[in-house]
C-alpha cells in the first residue's frame, strides 16, 4: 500500500499545486518541486490547473514536475492527456530535468489500476530530461523506442511489472543512465518477470553508466539474491536496492556469502522476511545496510507478500 505522496524528490521539497494553491499562485518555482493533481471531484481539471501553473513566467525555472492524481474519481482514464500537456509545454519549461507521473496513494487509486500511456513523446520533447519516474504500468509503453542521450535515472513503480515492459527497458538506448529502479511486484497483478528476464541485467552488458540498481517490491528477490553471486554487474554498482520484497534468509544467506557486495556504498533491504539472526549477520558484514521494517520471518513462503501488491 502506498499511503503518502512524495515529500521530497531529487533533493527538492515537494509542494502541492492544486485547486486551492493555484488560485494564489506559488512563490518559488526554482527551489520547490510542485505536484499537480486534480481533486477526486476533478475540479478544476488538469489542463486548467496546468495553465495556471504556467501562467507565471517564473514557471520557466521549474526544475522538475510531479503529476499526481490525473483522473479524478475515474481510474479508467489514462495519462495520455498528461503526456500531451507536458509535450505542448516544452518551450515554456526549458529547465525541466525531472518528470514524475502518477504520484498517487492507494486511497486515490490502486497502483495496479493507474493507467499510463505511451510516454515516448516526453523523451523526444525534452532532450535534456535527466529523471523519469512513473507509477503504475497498466498500458505503459515507450512505443518500442526507449532511447535518450541524457536520461540519468529511470524509475518504474508498480504492483506487477509486465515482462513486455521489462524487455522494453532492457532493449533501450540509455547511455547516460546511472540509476535504474524497477519494481517487479507480484504475479497476482501481472508481475511475471522471471529470473531469466533479469539475467541480462545482471550480466553487466547493459547500461554502461549504471551505478545504482533497484529491483524492488519483488517476489523473486531470493532468486535474484542468489543469482547475484557471480553477477558481473556488481563490479560497477555503488548502490543496490532489493527492498520492499519477500527477501528471506535464503536470499539473505546468498547476500552474506557474496564478497562483491563489500564494495557497495549502499545496500537497501528494508521491508523483508529475514530472521533476527540473519539481520544481525548482515549488519555485521555490511555496516550501514538497511534492514528496517522486518515482517514476520516465520511466515510460510507461500504467504509472504510484497509491500505494494496492487
Partner 1 sequence: MPSVNESVNPDFGLFCNPESRRAEGFSVALGRTLRQRPKLIHWEQVLAGDWEERLGEVPRFLRLESPGRNWRVEQRLLLLGAAIEDEEISHNWRRLPAEVVTSLPDEPGRVWPMRQWFLAWRRTLENLSQWARQHGLTSRWFCPPEDVACMFDKWKCQIALDAAGIAVPPALGLPRNFDELWELMRQAGRRRVFLKPCHGSSASGVVALEAGKNDIQAFSTLELTETANGLELHNNRRIRKWRGAAGVRKLVDAVCGERCLAQAWVPKAAQSGSPFDLRVVVIGGRARHVMMRLGRGPMTNSQLLGGKGDVELLRQKMGDEAWMRMLGLCESAMTRCFPLSLYAGLDVLVESNFRTARISEVNAFGDLLPRVLHEGRDTYTWEIEECLRREPVQVSSTGA
Shortest CB 103 distance to partner 1, Å: 11
Count Cβ atoms within 10 A of the Cβ of residue 105 and give its class: 0-12 exposed, 13-18 middle, 19 or more buried.
Answer: middle
Considering only residues 5 through 44, tell me which ones interact with partner 1, judged by CB under 8 A. 5, 16, 18, 20, 39-41
219 contacts partner 1 (rule: CB under 8 A): no
Question: In terms of Cα–Cα distance, which of 118, 115, 119, 145 is closest to 132?
Answer: 119
Please state the φ and ψ torsions of residue 76, each to the nearest 5 degrees.
-85, 0
Q: Applying CB under 8 A, does 149 fall inside the site for partner 1? A: no
Least gap, CB of 129 to partner 1 (angstroms): 28
The stretch among 23-31, 69-77, 89-97, 259-267 that binds partner 1 (CB under 8 A) is 69-77
Region from 23-31, 101-109, 157-165, 220-228 binding partner 1, contact rule CB under 8 A: 101-109
User: 153 near 99, Cβ under 8 Å?
Assistant: no
Residue 261 · residue 286 · CB < 8 Å: yes
Q: How far is the CB of 74 from partner 1 (least distance, A)?
A: 5
How many chain residues are in contact with partner 1, going by CB under 8 A? 24
Task: Decide if residue 113 touches partner 1 (CB under 8 A).
Answer: yes
Indicate the residue among 108 and 249 with the shorter CB distance to partner 1: 108
Residues that bind partner 1 (CB under 8 A): 1, 3-5, 16, 18, 20, 39-41, 69, 73-76, 105-108, 110, 112-113, 115, 138
Amino acid at each position: 500500500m502506498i499511503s503518502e505522496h512524495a515529500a521530497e524528490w531529487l533533493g527538492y521539497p515537494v509542494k502541492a499545486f492544486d485547486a486551492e494553491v493555484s488560485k494564489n499562485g506559488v512563490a518559488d518555482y526554482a527551489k520547490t518541486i510542485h505536484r499537480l493533481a486534480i481533486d477526486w471531484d476533478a475540479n478544476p481539471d488538469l489542463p486548467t490547473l496546468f495553465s495556471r501553473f504556467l501562467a507565471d513566467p517564473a514557471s520557466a525555472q521549474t526544475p522538475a514536475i510531479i503529476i499526481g492524481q490525473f483522473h479524478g474519481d475515474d481510474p479508467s482514464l489514462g495519462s495520455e492527456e498528461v503526456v500531451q500537456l507536458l509535450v505542448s509545454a516544452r518551450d515554456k519549461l526549458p529547465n525541466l530535468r525531472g518528470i514524475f507521473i502518477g504520484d498517487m496513494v492507494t486511497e486515490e487509486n490502486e497502483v495496479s489500476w493507474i493507467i499510463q500511456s505511451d510516454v515516448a513523446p516526453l523523451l523526444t520533447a525534452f532532450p535534456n530530461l535527466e529523471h523519469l519516474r512513473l507509477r503504475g504500468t497498466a498500458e505503459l509503453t515507450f512505443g518500442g523506442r526507449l532511447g535518450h542521450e541524457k536520461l540519468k535515472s529511470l524509475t518504474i513503480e508498480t504492483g506487477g511489472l509486465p515482462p513486455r515492459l521489462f524487455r522494453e527497458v532492457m532493449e533501450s538506448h540509455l547511455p547516460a543512465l546511472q540509476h535504474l529502479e524497477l519494481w517487479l511486484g507480484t504475479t497476482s497483478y501481472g508481475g511475471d518477470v522471471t529470473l531469466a528476464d533479469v539475467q541480462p541485467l545482471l550480466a553487466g552488458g547493459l547500461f554502461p553508466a549504471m551505478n545504482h540498481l533497484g529491483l524492488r517490491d519483488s517476489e523473486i528477490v531470493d532468486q535474484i539474491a542468489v543469482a547475484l553471486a557471480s553477477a558481473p554487474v556488481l563490479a560497477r554498482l555503488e548502490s543496490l536496492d532489493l527492498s520492499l520484497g519477500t527477501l528471506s534468509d535464503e536470499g539473505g544467506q546468498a547476500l552474506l556469502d557474496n564478497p562483491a557486495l563489500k564494495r557497495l556504498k549502499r545496500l537497501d533491504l528494508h521491508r523483508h522476511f529475514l530472521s533476527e539472526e540473519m539481520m544481525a549477520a548482515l549488519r555485521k558484514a555490511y555496516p550501514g545496510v538497511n534492514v528496517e521494517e522486518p515482517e514476520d520471518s516465520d511466515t510460510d513462503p507461500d504467504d509472504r507478500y510484497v509491500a505494494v501488491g496492487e
